[in-house]
Amino acid sequence: MLYLAAAVVLLAPSAGANPLEYIGPRALYNGAQNNGPPSDVPITMRDAVNNIVFGTRLYSTAPRIIGGVPAPEGAYPWMASLGVRGAPPRSGHFCGGAFVAPDWVITAAHCVYGSAADKIQVLGGTNALDRGGVLHFVSRIVVHEKYDRDTQDYDVALLRLDRRFTGRTISLLTPAEAGRLAAPGTLASVAGWGLTDESGEVSNILRHVTVELVSRQICNGIASYSGSISELQVCAGFPQGGKDSCQGDSGGPLMVTSGNRYVLAGVVSFGEGCGRPNKYGVYTNVAVIQSWAAAVMGPAAGPFAADTPTKQNASKVAARKRR
Q: Is 266 left (phi over 0), alpha (psi -120 to 50) or beta?
A: beta
Q: In whole angstroms, give the CA distance from residue 253 to residue 187.
A: 14
* Burial of 26 per CB tally in 10 Å (0-12, 13-18, 19+): middle
Q: In whole angstroms, give the CA distance from residue 131 to residue 235.
A: 33
307 is catalytic: no
CB atoms within 10 A of CB 186: 16
What share of residues in the chain are helix, strand, coil (percent, to 5)? 20, 30, 50
Identify which of 277, 271, 180 has the alpha carbon closest to the alpha carbon of residue 234: 271
User: What one-letter code names the amino acid at 69?
Assistant: V
Annotated active-site residue in 47, 93, 110, 115? 110
250 is catalytic: yes
Annotated active-site residue in 155, 244, 249, 307? 155
Report the helix count and the strand count for the chain, using DSSP H and E: 8, 14
Annotated active-site residue in 39, 171, 203, 250? 250
Catalytic residues: 110, 155, 250
